[in-house]
């Protein structure tokens, strides 16, 4: 996010700055981010290797819109957390920090959009019965990229900040690029952050709504099918009464079929960006009043979940029925290869 700070700003004694924390509070945020990013990179590499294994041994199962979008989100997330790690050792007035400002906003919205677009795809298939003229991801990926650009359009005029002023207003490490982009910027250019979170909230809400509508459509259709078959059998045998039929339908509700299970799983995709970004949104709301002080607990939660986003995406990837049996298969192949 872009920020303009000059020496005309009021001094620390005159104004309460939302993110003017001490170095003792800064260091835990740094350590949490580094540990979480390291774990995320490790798991995301496992995801990439697993998908490469799928492409080689299970090409048909790997050629799915869901896996393509999630794997692309994984790759972007890997790049994002690695850039985060580099930003700890760069000053905010460096060329890197200006690029990091742009990349951070774009990659975050793009990753969230790619994880949410699966639910929208299922809605078009099951509810609208739309047949895509080409591979859906060929359209989804450019659309997500354009969406990410629009969400960050207020931030493309670059960073203009006075490092000396920053050090005067905050503690001595305040020129750290990571801290500046992730937190200090929230206080000065609030409007761009509101714009940013509006787009994140919209894609998450749309994805949730699409999943719920698809779940209802599939359940209603399968319930009609069961009722039709049972009534047909009842008319033939005259042995099933209305109350018996009702109890059977209620008992059968948990077993509504594989399609509904797929849609239930699709709810996990918007859950990831929601869990990751709800803390940052709440943090932004706490500094809306003039001279408000940021909640440090929310800063810790925001840093934690932002850094482990890769772990959450990996968990969703391995929850796929075509994927969760692969580790055992890969282990079996390795054992067989080493014992021969």
Per-residue pLDDT tens digits for 157-198: 555 444 445 554 555 555 578 888 888 888 878 888 899 999
Q: Does a structural domain hold residue 240?
A: yes
Q: Does a structural domain hold residue 339?
A: no
Q: Does a structural domain hold residue 187?
A: yes
CATH number for position 161: 1.20.1070.10
Say which residue the tokens 């990571």 belong to: 178
Q: How far apart are CA 97 and CA 192, in angstroms?
A: 18
Q: Does a structural domain hold residue 117?
A: yes
Task: Please provide the DSSP assignment of 173-219 as one string.
Answer: TTTBHHHIIIIIHHHH-HHHHHHHHHHHHHHHHHHHHHHHHHHHHHH
Q: Does a structural domain hold residue 337?
A: no
Q: Helices 309-318 and 65-87 sit at what angle, rounded to 10 degrees?
A: 160
pLDDT at 19: 80
pLDDT at 144: 94
pLDDT at 255: 44
pLDDT at 67: 86
pLDDT at 31: 93
pLDDT at 2: 43
pLDDT at 253: 43
Q: Does a structural domain hold residue 340?
A: no
Look at the chain and report how many structural domains it folds into: 1
Domain of residue 219, residue span: 4-9+16-332
Q: Does a structural domain hold residue 92?
A: yes
Q: What residues have CB less than 8 Å from 314, skipping those under 6 apart? A: 40, 43, 44, 46, 47, 74
Q: Does a structural domain hold residue 251?
A: yes
Residues of the chain where predicted confidence (pLDDT) is lower than 50 = 1-15, 160-164, 168, 240, 245-257
Q: What residues have CB less than 8 Å from 240, skipping those under 6 apart? A: 230, 233, 234, 248
């Amino acid at each position: 996010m872009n920020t303009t700070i000059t020496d005309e700003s009021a001094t620390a004694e005159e104004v309460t700055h939302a993110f003017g924390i001490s170095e003792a509070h800064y260091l835990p945020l740094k350590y949490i981010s580094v540990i979480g990013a390291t774990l995320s990179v490790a798991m995301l590499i496992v995801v990439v290797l697993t998908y490469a294994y799928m492409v080689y041994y299970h090409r048909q199962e790997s050629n799915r819109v869901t896996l393509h979008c999630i794997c692309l989100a994984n790759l972007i997330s890997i790049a994002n957390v690695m850039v985060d790690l580099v930003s700890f050792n760069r000053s905010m007035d460096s060329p890197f920090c200006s690029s990091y400002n742009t990349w951070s906003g774009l990659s975050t919205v793009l990753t969230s959009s790619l994880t949410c677009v699966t639910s929208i795809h299922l809605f078009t298939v099951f509810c609208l019965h739309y047949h895509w003229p080409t591979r859906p991801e060929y359209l989804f990926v450019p659309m997500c990229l354009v969406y990410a650009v629009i969400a960050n359009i207020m931030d493309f005029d670059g960073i203009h900040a006075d490092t000396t002023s920053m050090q005067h207003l905050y503690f001595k490490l305040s020129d750290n690029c990571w801290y500046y982009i992730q937190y200090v910027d929230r206080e000065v250019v609030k409007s761009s952050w509101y714009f940013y979170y509006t787009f994140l909230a919209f894609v998450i809400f749309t994805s949730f709504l699409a999943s719920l509508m698809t779940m209802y459509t599939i359940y209603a259709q399968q319930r009609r099918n069961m009722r039709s078959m049972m009534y047909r059998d009842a008319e033939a045998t005259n042995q099933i009464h209305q109350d018996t039929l009702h109890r059977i339908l209620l008992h059968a509700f948990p077993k509504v079929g594989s399609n509904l299970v797929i849609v239930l799983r699709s709810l996990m995709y918007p859950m990831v960006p929601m869990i990751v970004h709800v803390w940052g949104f709440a943090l932004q709301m706490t500094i809306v009043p003039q001279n408000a002080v940021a909640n440090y607990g929310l800063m810790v939660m925001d840093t934690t979940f932002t850094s482990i986003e890769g772990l959450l995406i990996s968990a969703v990837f391995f929850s796929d029925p075509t994927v969760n049996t692969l580790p055992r298969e890969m282990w079996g192949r390795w054992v067989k290869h080493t014992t021969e």
